[in-house]
Chains A and B, each alone.
Chain A
Amino acid sequence: MKNEPFVIERTFNASPERIWKAISDREQMKQWYFDIAAFKPEIGNEFEFTGTSPDGTVYVHKCKVIESVPNKKLKYSWRYDGHPGNSFVTFELFAEGDKTKLRLTHEGLETFPAIKDFAKENFAKGWTSLIGTSLGKFLEKQLSNKTA
């Protein structure tokens, strides 16, 4: 049973080559992404970096490059050192005229049971807004992904 991955897309005013460099050249990566000493866009390359995870905790991220197609696709595994679970981050580039669409897919987030501190303050926020908005959107997306 597979879960639907998280997907985010944006069209940038840049060529695929420039975006590829931004996501795969460590000098450029550290200017907007993370400072990753051992990064190389080569299959099998293992790297790690310290970063704040979305739940606000600082984790050592452990990654390994799985796919690398210059100017098109970069995929690596992504897990948190000392914690269970493993996920996959994929960057895909699509040329659109003089612009480029970047699609980021993050699969396997559901394998991170330890990353939590969910609920709490949001608990009180109310069920109505939750079911009407965030969850609704999430479910719709799930549905459309499935039927697509």
Chain B
Amino acid sequence: MRRDVFQAIADPTRRAIIHMIAKESLNLNAVADRFDISRPAISRHIKILTECGLIAIKQEGRERYCKPRLQKLNEVSNWVEQYRTFWTSKFDALEKFLSDTDPSSKKNISTKKNKRK
């Protein structure tokens, strides 16, 4: 089974856990208490999140805390954002091209039929 950011955020409970942990480090029991589902199920989600590198478990005294690993989460958004920027600029260029070559536009000088070189 794959273990990466995308696997991590594929599940709604895991997304909820990420949101929770993002705001504050919580111990494992505190996380489990906020959900209606069973403790073993929560443990399993936390294990996956750990394996995906999105959270880290730190032992502090007698408690085990879930802490966010921001770098990994940035990987999701930046990487999608990069492609969004890229394709948006291409769409802008296409829009300009279509407008510049619009046969019905007054500023266009070419004939209705596309000229072939």
Which residues of chain A have a CB within 8 Å of any CB of chain B? 1, 3, 6, 8, 10, 12-14, 18-19, 21-23, 27-28, 31-33, 53-55, 102, 104, 106, 109-110, 115-116, 118-119, 122-123, 127, 130-131, 134-135, 138-139, 142-143
B87 touches A8 (CB 8 A): yes
Chain A contacts of B95 at CB under 8 A?
10, 12
In the complex, per-residue mask of B1-25: 1 if CB is within 8 Å of any chain A CB, else 0: 1101011011010010011001000
Which residue from chain B places its CB closest to the CB of A10 in the assembled complex? B91
Chain A contacts of B96 at CB under 8 A?
32
Q: Measured between C-beta atoms, what is the minimum distance from B78 to chain A in Å?
A: 4
A33-B90, A122-B74, A127-B70 are known contacts. Are A28 and B97 too (CB-CB below 8 A)? Answer: yes
Q: Measured between C-beta atoms, what is the minimum distance from B79 to chain A in Å?
A: 6
Chain B contacts of A138 at CB under 8 A?
76-77, 80
Q: How many A-B residue pairs have CB under 8 A?
A: 108
A14 touches B102 (CB 8 A): yes
Chain A contacts of B73 at CB under 8 A?
127, 130-131, 135
Q: Does B71 contact A (CB under 8 A)?
A: yes
Which residues B82-117 have CB closer than 8 A to chain A?
A: 82-88, 90-91, 93-99, 101-102, 114, 117
CA distance A142 to B14 in the complex (A): 13
B83 touches A109 (CB 8 A): yes
Known pairs A6-B84, A118-B79. 18 more at Cβ < 8 A? A1-B2, A3-B6, A6-B80, A8-B87, A10-B95, A12-B94, A12-B98, A33-B90, A54-B83, A54-B86, A109-B83, A119-B74, A123-B74, A127-B22, A131-B22, A138-B77, A139-B9, A142-B10
